[in-house]
Structure 1
Amino acid sequence: MSLSENLAQFGIQHITRGAVRSTDLVICRGSGIYVWTVDGKKYLDLSTGYGVTNTGHCHPTVVKAVQEQAANIPHAQMNMFFHKPMLDLIENLKPKLPSPKFNSFSFWNSGSEAVEASIKLARHATKKYNIVVFQGAYHGSTYGAASLNSSNSQFSAGYGPLMAGVHVAPYPYYQKTPGYISDPTTFTPERCGEDALCQLETLFKQRVAPTDTAAILIEPIQGEGGYVVPPKGYMEGVRAICDKYDILMICDEVQSGFGRTGKMFAIEHTSVLPDIMILAKGIASGYPLSCIVSDKSLMDCQPVATMVGTYGGNAISCAAANATLRVFDEENLLENCNERSKQFFSGFLTNLPAALPEGATVDVRGRGLMIGIEFLGVPAGFAESVRMEALRLDTIVLRASIYETLRIVPPLNITKEEADLAIQRVTEAVAAATKNIKA
């Protein structure tokens, strides 16, 4: 066995199986879009750690900032001190947020923690308890956050009873709605969105009293649900329902934020301003950091000492986040994201159909470099076969949703040549998976 295989076996033996991995690779370093295993094998990484390292692995600006902060003070506990990296981060983040009203911050380590903090805030501020989430949603793995998930039942199986007061409404997943399935030629995405809004209203009339509802929690583009982009006007409709019933709107930008969709935040593709935003993943180029942002009047509804954590807003992570934001500006990452997005969409739409099994089709969707590829009319397991064939081609891609869907989430500074290589390898992997069916 190779060194990597030996180490992987050790990990399998000693790390809980609850910490599932998409590969058993043992990596030792990364640079840009590439990672290397302990055996020296090089892989093209189209996962960025589930959409985290938006500046690529080990960006030198981020590395330098982390090294400097580690030599000064690595841990300045946030309910004992202010520290300058956090204060600088607030100053740097404010102009990048969708509105000046987002002027109060609560820092944590992970998306799950930030999601739970947003629920605490909503319930305490409104003195109401119901939370409405959406079919296909994923909001985290801690107990409260997992209670909000509906993308895959395995995330909550055997952990009941889950947190009370959570109710699920349909999300406008166009290809999976009865109207599309029965009549795909006339059923439009806009009609899908209108139907979903109607069902949300019905939920409030039949099951969930608006007077008892604290918040609607929504992803502006679903992540684990399959990189589903809601149709035009849908988010505005949700905002209108929130306003009608005096319900807070919480926008989960954990996976879609920080340039992933070609704008700093996915909600900026709409005219909507939520009441609370949840930020994580791409904020700090791989260092553990998350936060919720809102206006000060709402945030200050909470009692003193109820929104703190030992490692929240860690000084090294905040320094990494400040460096990350500098890279966005200095290297025009949003512009590159949009250019490479056009390249990926064109490449996949041009090349993938010919690589598919006879009678199958492909839906390439998303925004920016948050790209979903759903294979339609294929045997069960086809997307997993593509993922494994990509791995044999030294390329890392991820699954998304319970359906036959892959996600492509490269770093935002991916080059044109690297994008060409990624398109080529994914196409080859699809062709190989098709050949496996015929065999």
Structure 2
Amino acid sequence: MKSLYERSLKVLPPVAKRATKLGVIKGKGSYLYTEDGKKILDFASGVAVCNLGHNNPAVVKAAKDQIDKLIHGGHNVVYYDTYVELAEKMVELTGGNTMVYFSNSGAEANEGAIKLAKYVTKRQAIISFKGSFHGRTLATTSITGSSSKYRKNYEGLLPSVYFAEYPYCFRCPYKQKKETCKMECSAQFEDIFKKLVDPECVAAIIIEPIQGEGGYIVPPRKFIEFVRSICSKYKICLIFDEVQCGFGRTGKMFAHENFDIKPDIFTCAKAIASGFPLSAVIGKKELMEKWSSGAHGGTFGGNPVSCAAALATIRELQSGILDNANQMGKYLKEKLFKLKENYACIGDIRGIGLMIGAEFCREDNKPDGKAVSFIREYAVNNNLILLACGTDHNVLRFMAPLTVSKSEIDTAISIIESGIREYLKNKA
């Protein structure tokens, strides 16, 4: 009998390629179960979607109960309870002075966010960041700066998009050292506003508070504070893309809480409903009230079942799982730092909560994507799923479920260390 991978080759185009060739039939907690009977420790979590682990019982029950009542009503036709209740909960979680619009995916949410910013400011320009990832639609591809392959053959894209340098301290684009840093990453905006686009023409600056695909990069707090200040100064909408870093991934409900900074607009998706398609644009009330009827819309956004799953997800996160995320994130970083002490090929360990990256380098400190590729392949052959990130694909990103245990982390670290040893032995 052919495997799911083999069957897919006849019916799926190359663009639908997966990170592994695994065919899975079930998921539970931190594990996936394959068609050939293997139990796989999943530290990808469906790309930071299954933050509560696979098939969390409370989420499953909430979804099943909702299916018996209403599967689809159409949020542009009627009001239904899970939609309104989830909106109320999101407003409560974000301070009470916000409003919420629900979509299906992260790209939809980010597209909605930039449409909102353009609509209310009557401005056209958007500033994004190199290394960013915001989605695969034409508009979100236009503001994505992590890989030229996402843009190839799709030009021209959304006009009036400008890219700034993200504060990547380990590989500072300005060649600065932490101890003597003059924050050129902040000063760059003066140059952008002088030479490229007047600030009064800028609708929004969109930024990932912790950069995801770009390398799991945590920016300096004072940089985020500076971006907030210039947005306030020039009445530019500050948009935080929390599609990957939100909903508990950083040990807090929302990633921007780590910086004590409030955006004007931010987006959530991925983990918001533990695997059911749902996303949200959350904006300050004074902005959202200006977004007129008919200016945006969609058919499936805020599906009743997805909203029920999201409400259950929030309850679970608030039941102590966020505490576990912080404790296990600290434990995982300690284990990774010990590996770094023993293996010079690990150049940097960084992250917040359970959003952690390990950057691999060659002897000359240049990115070593081959190491990460080898270790990932070794890991999957030993029943552990890991994904890469970074513009040079040289960062192992750890997206273990927030429910992960110490013993599961120990298992993963053991496999990774064996993979590093095999790589260095083959390299020699």
* TM-score between the two structures when normalised by the length of structure 2: 0.96
**Structure 2 residue identity aligned to 1:101:** N
Which residue does 1:414 correspond to in 2? Answer: 404
Which residue does 2:418 correspond to in 1? Answer: 428
Which residue does 1:401 correspond to in 2? Answer: 390
Q: Which runs of 4+ in 1 moved over 3 A?
A: none
Question: Which residue of 129, 139, 157 maps to 1:162?
Answer: 157
Query: Could you tell me the percent identity over the aligned residues?
Result: 39
Relative to structure 2, which stretch is displaced further, 423-432 or 117-126? 423-432
Which residue does 1:240 correspond to in 2? Answer: 229
Which residue does 1:255 correspond to in 2? Answer: 244
Which SS does the other structure have where 2:100 is aligned?
Answer: strand
Q: How many angstroms does 1:19 deviate by?
A: 2.2
Rate the CA distance shift 1:178–1:108 in 2: closer, same or farther, 3 A: closer
Q: How many angstroms does 1:307 deviate by?
A: 2.0
- Corresponding pairs, count: 423
Which SS does the other structure have where 1:428 is aligned?
Answer: helix
Q: How many angstroms does 1:78 deviate by?
A: 0.1
Which residue does 1:297 correspond to in 2? Answer: 286
Show CA shifts across 1:397-416 (max 9, x none): 00102221110001101112
Question: Which residue of 341, 355, 366 maps to 1:370?
Answer: 355
**Structure 2 residue identity aligned to 1:362:** G
What is the aligned-residue RMSD (CA, Å)? 1.5
Show CA shifts across 1:344-377 (max 9, x none): 00011112442x3xx5343110100001110122
Q: Aligned partners of 1:109 and 1:40: how far apart in 2? A: 33
Question: Which residue of 144, 149, 153 maps to 2:139?
Answer: 144
Q: How many angstroms does 1:381 deviate by?
A: 1.4
Segments of 5+ residues of structure 1 without an aligned counterpart are none
Which SS does the other structure have where 1:251 is aligned?
Answer: strand
CA contact (8 A) 1:152 1:401 kept: no
Matches within 5 A, 1:282-361: 282-330=271-319, 332-354=320-342, 356=343, 359-361=344-346
Q: How many angstroms does 1:301 deviate by?
A: 1.6
Rate the CA distance shift 1:402–1:189 in 2: closer, same or farther, 3 A: farther
Q: How many angstroms does 1:380 deviate by?
A: 4.5
Question: Which residue of 96, 102, 109 maps to 1:100?
Answer: 96
Q: How many angstroms does 1:125 deviate by?
A: 0.3
Relative to structure 2, which stretch is displaced further, 383-392 or 415-424? 415-424
Q: Aligned partners of 2:189 and 2:86: how far apart in 1? A: 37
Q: How many angstroms does 1:383 deviate by?
A: 0.9
Rate the CA distance shift 1:412–1:361 in 2: closer, same or farther, 3 A: closer
Q: Aligned partners of 1:189 and 1:392: how far apart in 2? A: 42
Which SS does the other structure have where 1:67 is aligned?
Answer: helix
Q: Aligned partners of 2:180 and 2:268: how far apart in 1? A: 28
Instruction: Please tell me whether residue 70 in structure 1 is matched to residue 64 in structure 2.
Output: no
Which SS does the other structure have where 2:67 is aligned?
Answer: helix
Q: Aligned partners of 2:10 and 2:170: how far apart in 1? A: 41
**Structure 2 residue identity aligned to 1:92:** K
Q: Aligned partners of 1:17 and 1:190: how far apart in 2? A: 47
CA contact (8 A) 1:382 1:433 kept: yes
CA contact (8 A) 1:352 1:430 kept: no
* TM-score between the two structures when normalised by the length of structure 1: 0.93
Which SS does the other structure have where 2:76 is aligned?
Answer: coil
Which SS does the other structure have where 2:10 is aligned?
Answer: helix
Segments of 5+ residues of structure 2 without an aligned counterpart are none
Instruction: Please tell me whether residue 47 in structure 1 is matched to residue 35 in structure 2.
Output: no
